[in-house]
Amino acid sequence: SPAWSESGLLPEFSVGVQQLLKGAPLPEAILGNLRRQMRQELISFLDDHNLLQEGSSGTLRWQYSDLGKCLATKYPKLLWDPPREGGDRRVEVWSTFMRRLSATRRSRRKTLKGDRSTDSP
């Protein structure tokens, strides 16, 4: 089983996100919306199953990395977020998406707790 999850569970993605997973040729605006929707579905799945919620920042980083690898293996045609202009081209294809996923999730959890303080990197 992958290191990010004892059970190796992955969500059943919605019909819209399935297009993204299968690499369907779509306009960039639609792809952006589907990527956001996929992030939301993954966050809901992780929260519902209490996955990737505890541990040191290093442990969580490796678990999110393993989740990205797992998704890339299961969905080889997935249209990931492109890296930002001038960004490091050596990063994995899933890195930008997973970084945005973890940042969105961390931000939501802080908002829910009422904690507005910022973490140091």
Q: What is the pLDDT of residue 54?
A: 79
Q: Which residue, among 4, 2, 104, has the nearest Cα to 61 in the 3D structure?
A: 4
Q: Is the separation of the CB atoms in 90 and 27 below 8 Å?
A: no
Residue 9 confidence (pLDDT): 79
95, pLDDT greater than 80: yes
> The whole model's pTM is what?
0.78
